[in-house]
Amino acid sequence: MRITAQLIDATNGAHLWADRFDGSLVDVFDLQDKVALSVAGVIEPTLQAAETDRSISRPTDDLTAYDLYLRGHATAVSSAARFPEALCLMQQAIERDPRYGPALAWAAVCYMRKCQDGRSHAPEADARRGVEFARRALDAAGDDPAVLANAGYALAYFGEDIGSMTALVDRALTLNPSFSRGWYISGALKLWAGQPDIAIEHVHTALRLNPRARASWVLLTVGAAHFVSQRFDAALAKLLLAIQDDPSNQGAYRHLAACYAHLGRLDDARKVIERLRAVTPQIVPIGMPYRNPEYCELLFSGLRLAAGEAT
């Protein structure tokens, strides 16, 4: 049996997505589940991209809170360097609608990324703002899986109990098992909690559900999971691809430099540090969300070694 599925923009007939599914009538129920999961997984990110394109084409003075949110979302996922710009758009959306859950949750993620990437001039104040936005998002979330997952992601980074935040993301995935970003966030939290192999599994699920997603942070998470497991050769391949996909991804440079250092490839580590210096003056991050102190020391010791060779 072959089933063909298509997603068409009914307003203009534009083709958005298509796929086909082959299977045996003997396993017809398994085939049905495969079709349902794949279609559900692809619709949300495809419609998000289509709505973003539609929003961008509108005049700036006609934007609604939803338009601002879409612009902010598109900006955030386009490059790690553009999170401050995305935060401004999310804050404008929140000014128009103070209980707009998706914008509140993404504002929290933007504050998280400011702190994580070393772009914050007041990390403690920005951390407090990030926590505030995340809690406001949860208060407005209801059963919105994206709001639950993004708010839990930010709160976990800012030090909330990792088990409770993982349960929050699990709830989001129960509400929508085909939510690609939810699986990615679940993978990130599993890595932070000290479960790198489960992290890789969950991130691969995210990529399977949305193969068109920007790959840099997916690759970084898989690379970091191999790194903390001291599978340095496996980590190298993923981290190099992460940088190729987004040259502003500071986390990928840091893990890659440390990886080379622990492999004894100090010349390569020095070159990565020089590339990182072109992105940020902060070579060793202020903190890491890893709950396992051995993971933090593995990264910091590698960075110290690499940076020492660079000076």
Percent of the chain at pLDDT > 90 equals 63
For residue range 153-187, what is the model confidence (pLDDT) as tens digits? 999 999 999 999 999 999 999 999 999 999 999 99
For residue range 61-79, what is the model confidence (pLDDT) as tens digits? 335 788 999 999 999 988 8
Please give the Cα distance from 255 to 301 (Å, whole number): 11
Q: Which helix (H) or strand (E) holds 218?
A: helix 216-228
Establish whether domains 58-177 and 212-311 are of one fold: yes
For residue range 191-203, what is the model confidence (pLDDT) as tens digits? 999 999 999 999 9
Residue with tokens 């307003």: 11
**Mean pLDDT, rounded, of the chain:** 89
212-311 CATH: 1.25.40.10
pLDDT (mean) for 17-22 = 82
CB 96 within 8 A of CB 68: yes
Q: What is the pTM of this model?
A: 0.79
φ/ψ of residue 16, rounded to 5: -100, -35
Q: For residue 50, is pLDDT > 70?
A: no
For residue range 95-111, what is the model confidence (pLDDT) as tens digits? 999 989 999 999 999 99
Angle between helices 250-262 and 216-228 (to 10 degrees): 30
Would you kindly state where each structural domain of the chain is located, as residue ranges? 1-55, 58-177, 212-311
Residue with tokens 């208060």: 139
> In this structure, which topology does domain 58-177 adopt according to CATH?
1.25.40
Please give the Cα distance from 61 to 135 (Å, whole number): 30
